[in-house]
A and B are shown apart, each in its own frame.
Chain A
Amino acid sequence: MKSNHTHELISKKRAADALKILILLVVLVVLFIMALGSGRTSVNFFDVVQILLSQFGLNTQPIDESAATVVNLVRLPRIVAAVLVGSALALAGAAYQGLFRNPMVSPDILGASAGAGFGAALALLLDGNVRVVQLASFVTGFIAVMITYVSARKISKGIGKILIFVLCGLIVGTLFQAMISAIKFTADPDSKLPEITYWLMGSIAKVTWNDILVFLVPFLIGSIPLLLLRWRLNSLAFGDVEAEALGVNVDRLRMINILCATLLTSAVVAIAGIIGWVGLIIPHIARFLFGPDNRIVLPASIVIGAAFLVLVDMCCRTFFASEIPLGILTSVVGAPFFFIILIKTQSEKL
């Protein structure tokens, strides 16, 4: 009798979660279409739908060719990039927060962004082409995290592993930040310095279909294992020792998660520069809507992250006379949001 009641409660929650995910997906699609229509040349919502449909030969009505060019050639790759970058950062963030049992952790906690930024800055300084810049930033982002991971593994002896990981990440991140500054210092202030600075601010304005295809490889390799292993992250809630006692190979789980999240973060920096805060705040919104179970938090973060970045990118293009870099606006939105989270968590403790 009682058991049925519990049963009912939980199946109700599952149905509610499914509905919420569906609503979020609808919001994402609507934002996606709105983003395609907005900008200097504004296109009506339903015209955008028709232009998209005619791409797949599903539309028989006549469409405005110049509007179609703007939507398909100029805006579509950029907004697809916003979807992918937003979901990659949010997923990596959610995985890291579960992994480090800390809701204040972001995907660059182990030095991925600083490392990737260094590689990009170096490649730009040495006149590398787009692919070289992307490859350099991806590789150095990965190297930075591996330095953190290997040193943390060597230093930590059982207890307090998480703190050691975070501290090692801090050291490595700061070191790479210093090297970025050194590169900026030596760069030509008229040509190279602004190029590097703008690149580091984060932008998806120049993303091409080729960039997206290249990005899809690390995106899929990184996100699929994270999604498949997401329930195991719940076991870490009470600490490594308890997770081990539950039968989880914590070291292996941590290694796989760090590898995948790093793959995602480095790939993002490689095509879009450093875009802060997304990986930190989106998982909070997901947990606020769905509770802490990582089975739902990770997929929800993907959808919310994508919608968030599409929205912010749309604001970047429409609110100001000249476009502002995406990374600036995500931080402007993210910082106050983080304050709200801090206040909320503190007031809950009382």
Chain B
Amino acid sequence: MILDLQNAECGYKGQTVIGPVSFKMDEGDIVCLLGPNGVGKTTLFKTILGFLSPVKGDVLLNGKSRSSYSRKQFARLVSFVPQLAQTPFDYTVFDVVLTGCMSHLGLLQTPGSEDYERAYQMIEELGIGHLAEKKFNEASGGERQMTLIARALMQDADLIIMDEPTAALDFGNQVQVLNCIKRMAQDNSKCIFMTTHNPDHAFLVCNRTLLALPNKEIIAGEVSYVLTEQNLEKAYQTPVKITEAFDNNGDAIKTCVPLLQ
């Protein structure tokens, strides 16, 4: 079991903000965290990333708690894809991807030809090879997101945590990132935990979902069990309908439509 939350309550200074929640993640799992703004999604997120200790319960990585790992050991198990941001310096896409091998090098080591090779390979696999020398700040939202994903893959951790990877992207780029997430789970046996504001994304790529409600409670389980009309209405305080579309193989894909008043 890569990630194992056991009745974990997350919060600050002994005050529970969100939880308790229990769920497990293993190779190939994609878990989505949904919920309205301000219910403590970030708090849960930071707890899994090891920046906060759980107020109650346990957050275990490979069966051990965060405190038994050093920063570096932890980074080899868990990588983080943050929300899109700019840097004050003009790093190239390649420079950014290369920093992903930080946790695999000693304190005084700098990346060698093997690390360079791996970085080339990552950006090629993600289809951004032609951007290697482009300035990160000047790349489009989708390109920057793919760069940060390449950096996370460079880090070579089993668990990848993604903070709203599809926010701020256009429709096409959203789909591209979702495809990439699915491939990472299927082909590279990564285990992916992501937040999103779009229930459809959970239907598309996730095999399990967490839904945070305004009352600290978290509903966890199979996507179709968690994302029901009633639960979504409870979470977002707005009526929704869930309907189905069919892909080219005739398989049903659920989709969520809000009802305007």
Across the interface, name the chain B residue whose C-beta is closest to A11: B116
With A6-B129, A242-B82, A292-B90 known to touch, is A247 a contact of B95 (CB < 8 Å)? no
Give the dominant DSSP class at A's interface.
helix
Q: From known contacts A238-B85, A244-B51, infer whether A2 and B129 are also in contact, taking CB-CB under 8 Å.
A: yes
Nearest CB in chain B to that of A228: its residue:
B108
- Report the minimum CB–CB distance from B168 to chain A (whole Å): 16
Bound together, the chains give a CA A246 to CA B100 distance in angstroms of: 6
**Does A229 count as interface, using CB distance less than 8 angstroms?**
yes
| Nearest A residue to B116, CB-CB | A10
A231 → chain B closest CB, angstroms = 5
Are the C-beta atoms of A246 and B99 separated by less than 8 Å?
A: yes
| Complex: chain B residue closest to A293, CB-CB | B95
Asked whether B94 lies within 8 Å of A247 as measured between CB atoms, the reply is no
User: A21 near B: Cβ within 8 Å?
Assistant: no
Minimum CB–CB distance for B213 against chain A, Å? 26
Q: Which residues of B contact A249 (CB under 8 A)?
A: 71-72
Chain B, range 83-117, C-beta contacts under 8 Å to A:
85, 87-92, 94-96, 99-100, 102-103, 107-108, 110-111, 116
- Could you tell me the distance between the alpha carbons of A5 and B82 in the complex, rounded to whole angstroms? 29
Given the complex, which residues of A lie within 8 Å of B95, measured CB to CB? 234, 291-293
Report chain A residues within 8 Å CB of B123. 6
| Interface flags, A229-267, vs B, CB<8A=1, else 0 | 101101101110110111111000000000000000000
Does B146 sit within 8 A of A, measured CB to CB? Answer: no
- As a 0/1 sequence over residues 21 to 51 of chain A, the CB contacts with chain B under 8 angstroms (1 = contact) are 0000000000000000000000000000000
| Smallest CB gap from A297: residue in B | B89
A247 in contact with B51 given A10-B132, A287-B89, A293-B91 (CB within 8 Å): no
Give Cα A235 to B100, complex, Å: 9
The segment from B32-40, B73-81, B242-250 found at the interface with A is: B73-81
By a CB distance below 8 angstroms, the chain B residues around A287 are: 89-90
Contacts of B89 in A (CB 8 A): 98, 101, 103, 237, 287, 292
Q: Judge if B121 is at the interface, Cβ distance under 8 Å.
A: yes
Return chain B residues, CB-CB under 8 Å to A234.
91, 95, 99
Q: Is the CB of B107 within 8 A of A229?
A: yes
Which of chain A's residues have a CB closer than 8 A to the CB of B74? 247
State whether the Cβ of B222 lies closer than 8 Å to any Cβ in chain A.
no
Of B72, B87, B100, B130, which one neighbours A237 at CB under 8 angstroms?
B87
Which of A229, A234, A249, A295: most chain B CB closer than 10 A?
A234
Q: CB-nearest residue of chain A relative to B90?
A: A292
CB-CB nearest in chain B for A345: B88
Q: B90 touches which one: A102, A244, A291 (CB < 8 A)? A: A291
Q: Within the complex, what minimum Cβ distance (angstroms) separates B145 from chain A?
A: 13
Cβ-defined contact, B75 with A245, below 8 A: yes
Contact status A242-B80, CB under 8 Å:
yes
By beta carbon, the residue of chain A nearest B155 is A246
Please tell me if the beta carbons of A231 and B111 are within 8 angstroms of each other in the complex.
yes
Residues in A with CB closer than 8 Å to B82 are 238, 241-242, 245
Question: Which of A10, A13, A239, A292 is within 8 Å of B85, CB to CB?
Answer: A239
Asked if A247 and B99 make an inter-chain contact with CB atoms under 8 angstroms apart, the answer reads: no
Task: Give the residue name and chain of the B residue nearest to A101 (CB).
Answer: B88
- Residues of A within 8 Å of B99, CB to CB, are 234-235, 237, 246
Q: Which residues of B contact A235 (CB under 8 A)?
A: 99, 102
Query: Contacts A6-B120, A231-B111, A232-B102 known; A101 to B94 CB distance under 8 Å?
Result: no
Chain B residues contacting A3 (CB-CB under 8 Å) are: 120-121, 124, 129
Are the C-beta atoms of B87 and A246 separated by less than 8 Å? no
Alpha-carbon gap, A146 to B182, bound state (A): 49
Complex: A229 Cα to B75 Cα, angstroms: 19
User: Is B184 engaged at the interface, CB distance under 8 Å to the other chain?
Assistant: no
B91 touches A246 (CB 8 A): no
B133 is an interface residue with CB less than 8 A from chain A: yes
Contacts of B80 in A (CB 8 A): 241-242, 245
Contact of B226 with A by CB under 8 A: no
- Asked if A350 is an interface residue, CB under 8 A from chain B, the answer is no
Nearest-neighbour CB distance to chain A for B3, whole angstroms, equals 15
- Per the bound structure, the CA–CA distance linking A242 and B116 in Å amounts to 21
Whether A2 pairs with B75 at a CB distance below 8 angstroms is no
Assembly CA distance A232 to B110 (angstroms): 8
Cα distance A293–B95 when bound, in Å?
A: 7
State A115–B142 Cα separation when bound (angstroms).
47
Determine whether B204 belongs to the interface, using a CB cutoff of 8 Å to chain A. Answer: no
Whole-angstrom distance between the Cβ of A228 and the nearest chain B Cβ: 5
Q: A9-B132, A10-B116 are in contact. Are A292 and B71 (CB under 8 A)?
A: no
Give the distance to chain B from A160, nearest Cβ to Cβ, in Å.
15
A-B contact pairs, 7 of them (CB 8 A): A6-B94, A9-B132, A102-B88, A228-B108, A241-B80, A246-B155, A248-B71
Residues of B within 8 A of A (CB): 49, 51, 71-72, 74-76, 78-80, 82, 85, 87-92, 94-96, 99-100, 102-103, 107-108, 110-111, 116, 120-121, 123-124, 129-130, 132-133, 151, 155
New A-B pairs, 5, CB < 8 Å, besides A2-B130, A6-B120, A246-B100: A3-B129, A6-B133, A228-B108, A242-B80, A247-B76
Give the top 4 A-B pairs by smallest Cβ distance, nearest first: A247-B75, A247-B103, A292-B89, A245-B80
